[in-house]
């Protein structure tokens, strides 16, 4: 990330009242199953669609849920999330999308690690979905999962560390939000649309690369695995477990779904 933007982030206020609810939550209930659900109505201002937030160093963020879609990005260093027992290390330049009902916690980060998150009202992604105008399985699967009302956990960990174009777009998204202009919603949505188009393109590439390594046996394994588990797991987790690409996986999902 560009140094001037990192500096800007350094001086950004870190928490608002609603966020303190998370920090204080363990005092209220230490039960494993008990956790706070953050509400967009408290975090995101009226008539706005997004709230932007920077991780505070040296603080553990206890298990919590949210009624919004969270997009997490690591600007510098590494940030460790725990999502339903899965450790997800989001490294510099990587993205983590979490659906409305994903419950997660975040381990403390050092002064050297910079993580930011965007809290979007679901309507924002409904609109991006409508703007896509392409018939693409990966996109369809991601949108359905993120927006799904099935109360299932869905998260997508995108290994975008080497995609400079996505970093530029995230920088732009942060700058647009920091500018604090209402008029910028169109800019913000078109930027997120481009991030999605970039992610889809990189899926398709890795799909082409890895197709050669796939044999018939693997395909059945994937289909079985997906049938049993995919609703609770992330695409990247699955693809890692199966040693195949995310795009290939999504093709399988399409086939099994009929």
Binding-site ranges for a copy of itself (CB under 8 A):
2, 4-5, 134, 164-165, 168-169, 171-172, 175-176, 181, 183-184, 186-187, 190-191, 193-194, 197-198, 201, 204
206 backbone φψ class: left, alpha, beta (φ>0; ψ -120 to 50): alpha
Nearer to a copy of itself, 41 or 178 (CB): 178
Of the two residues 52 and 155, which places its CB atom closer to a copy of itself in the complex?
Answer: 52
DSSP structure class, residue 177: H
Do 51 and 119 contact (CB within 8 A), yes or no?
Answer: yes
Alpha helices, H only, the chain: 3-10, 17-28, 40-43, 122-132, 137-147, 164-179, 185-211, 216-229, 235-242, 246-257
Q: How far is the CB of 6 from a copy of itself (least distance, A)?
A: 13
CA 205 to chain centre: 21
Compute the least distance from the CB of residue 210 to a copy of itself, in Å. 17
Q: Least separation, in Å, of the C-beta of 251 and a copy of itself? A: 17
Smallest distance from the beta carbon of 92 to a copy of itself, in angstroms?
Answer: 16
Of 102 and 191, nearer to a copy of itself (C-beta) is 191
Min separation Cβ 52 and a copy of itself, Å: 15
- Nearer to a copy of itself by Cβ, of 15 and 184: the residue is 184
Cβ proximity to a copy of itself, 2 vs 14, nearer residue: 2
Query: Considering the complex, what minimum distance in angstroms separates the CB of residue 131 from a copy of itself?
Result: 9
Asked if 55 and 108 count as a contact pair (C-beta separation under 8 A), the reply is no
In the bound state with a copy of itself, the residue whose beta carbon lies nearer, of 2 and 150, is 2
Query: Bridge partners of 81?
Result: 88, 106
> Which tokens is 240 given?
């890692």
- Cβ contacts of 207 within 8 Å, gap of 6 or more: 245, 246, 247, 248, 251
């Amino acid at each position: 990330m560009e140094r001037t933007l990192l500096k800007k982030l350094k001086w950004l206020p870190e928490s608002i009242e609603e966020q303190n609810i998370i920090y204080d939550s363990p005092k209220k209930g230490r039960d494993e199953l008990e956790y706070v659900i953050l509400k967009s109505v408290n975090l995101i201002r009226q008539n706005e669609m997004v709230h932007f937030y920077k991780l505070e160093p040296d603080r553990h963020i206890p298990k919590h849920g949210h009624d919004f879609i969270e997009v997490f990005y690591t600007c510098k260093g590494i940030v460790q999330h725990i999502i339903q027992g899965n450790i997800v290390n989001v490294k510099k330049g990587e993205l983590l999308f979490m659906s409305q009902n994903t419950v997660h916690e975040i381990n403390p980060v050092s002064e050297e690690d910079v993580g930011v998150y965007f809290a979007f009202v679901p309507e924002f992604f409904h609109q991006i979905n409508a703007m896509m105008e392409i018939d693409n399985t990966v996109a369809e699967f991601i949108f359905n999962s993120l927006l799904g009302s099935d109360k299932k956990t869905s998260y997508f960990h995108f290994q975008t560390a080497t995609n400079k174009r996505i970093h530029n777009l995230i920088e732009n998204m942060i700058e647009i939000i920091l500018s604090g202009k209402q008029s910028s919603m169109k800019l913000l949505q078109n930027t997120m649309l481009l991030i999605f188009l970039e992610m889809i393109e990189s899926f398709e590439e890795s799909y082409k690369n890895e197709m050669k390594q796939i044999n018939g046996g693997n395909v059945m394994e994937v289909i079985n695995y997906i049938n049993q588990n995919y609703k609770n797991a992330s695409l990247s987790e699955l693809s890692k477990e199966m040693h195949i690409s995310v795009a290939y996986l999504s093709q399988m999902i399409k086939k099994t779904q009929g």
